[in-house]
Structure 1
């Protein structure tokens, strides 16, 4: 399927007394995406941290305790996403989840579910200062691509989108769409990720979709302030928006942002574009080392 509708979530962090309240919220979001004919629904980085509210203040105010307690919910969280993807017949990039490894460390993992079950996952590869210095979440070590009925998909979790060689390796492995779940607490942080996403779309001549957390959750020690706008980015060339932004959310509301993507347009622009960024990538390595002049 070369043409399909993608839904990028501008997702608010909720507060829940019961698991059932979270399940109802998630189903409402997925149902709305399906109602708008979305084949792929993209949730944000760390949107799952709203589940920490289920454990009470002593846990959700403690950065380490919340990570450990959330492991008890991971099996039913998996089951819920499997069920919703099957029931509504669409793929879901679930909000990234802190997952404990056999060595006791935690990674920030984004799972992709389809109607047939779990399709794959990507761990965040480069950690922010907050993750490294305060939250103690560890970096993953494998760059993945995921084969789907919509084509091959790569995932760059938030900060990863700011490093060009990660997405490039996914593109060279066949990905024409990069999904970027994000969680940023300032406008500067949002724009860093946005600029990274747009650069990845420019240099690889591909689609990039950003799904951020949104709004305030003052109860949460981890995701209290959330700033961003869901957006879908494109190559900057014939047949695409002049600014490379196909769709973007408002600054005022949690919402889905929908866009119709045509992956056949990626092959066209790489073959017939005004520029050939994708093809010319290797040329940047051809010049000799810098020569210092003017001395």
Structure 2
């Protein structure tokens, strides 16, 4: 039975790479000390790294994207090292990565205790990402193998579209991670409602992480709000409201929960309702 830690992570103005490394290490150590096996950070948590560059860079939406590419190797090495040192799985938030096509895509990197790393790209972009930031969508839907079973990732807005999570659930995912970054209360609730809907219809765990705190210096993530939570099926053996744990809104903290992943298979076979099994029937209607 794995224990998950989902972050309400505060964005900081950093003065050095060492400060970022120390902050990341402190967060990971705290979760590991609390016996967490899987750690989830929020979408665009890495954007605080833009503060390591001059104001002309971090105040430019496009300039900061190019500059961040120089820090990507160190970022990957840092979290690869932390995952191995503390023997945990880490989804380290998301990072905008420049491809050979010159497109930027939003990567959610997943690190294993064994030193492996892979990523899920964001598949549907928000208006801000499309129209102002010019970050492109990815195309591949992935799953990640762990000793606890298959894990999937829906990046923020992706959680609001049921076909992504459905494909992942049909391929064996019983846990879906949702790193999120929302700048309004309505945005937070859109993602939250999406997460709860995905947990309901797929009868699985869905875990949301939220970026919190204001960063007036940032052109990309100046306002951030939300709460981390672990959502479940709404059926026997699970909370009646489908909320296993939820953080205090806008507070900087880890939110923890123990996940009974075997109970997902049980509820899909013996639940009061068969949301997961009955999905194909919805397409018989005319």
User: TM-score, normalised on structure 2?
Assistant: 0.99
- Which position in structure 1 is the counterpart of 2:139? 141
- Pairing 1:61–2:62 present: no
Q: Deviations over 1:182-230 (max 9, x none)?
A: 0000010000000000000000000000001011111111001001100
Contact persistence 1:97–1:110 (CA under 8 A): yes
**Larger Cα-atom Rg:** 1
Partners in 2 of 1:100 and 1:118 — Cα distance? Answer: 21
The unaligned stretches of length 5 or more in structure 1 are 289-295
Q: Which residue of 2 aligns with 1:128?
A: 126
Structure 2 residues without counterparts, runs of 5 or longer: none
1:60-114 Cα deviation digits (max 9, x unpaired)? 1000000000000000100000110111110100110000000101000000001
SS in 1 for 2:12: coil
| 4+ runs deviating over 3 angstroms | none
SS of residue in 2 equivalent to 1:81: helix
Say if 2:46 is the partner of 1:48. Answer: yes
Structure 2: how far apart are the matches of 1:269 and 1:287? 25
RMSD (Å), alpha carbons:
0.7
Q: Which residue of 2 aligns with 1:72?
A: 70
Q: Quick one: distance in 2 between partners of 1:264 and 1:115?
A: 22
Aligned to 1:32: 30
The separation in 1 between residues aligned to 2:133 and 2:171, in whole angstroms, is: 32
Q: Distance in 2 between matches of 1:59 and 1:149?
A: 41
Counterpart position of 2:202: 204
How far, CA to CA, are the matches of 1:272 and 1:230 in structure 2? 29
Aligned to 2:82: 84
User: Alpha-carbon deviations, 1:157-181, whole Å to 9, x = none?
Assistant: 0000000000000001100000000
CA contact (8 A) 2:80 2:117 kept: no
1:5 equivalent in structure 2: 3
Residue 103 of structure 1 corresponds to which residue in structure 2? 101
The answer to whether the 8 A contact 1:123-1:139 is kept is: yes
Matches within 5 A, 1:254-293: 254-288=252-286
1:119 deviation in Å?
3.6
- Using the alignment, how far apart are the partners of 1:118 and 1:189 within structure 2? 33
The residue number in structure 2 matching 1:292 is: none
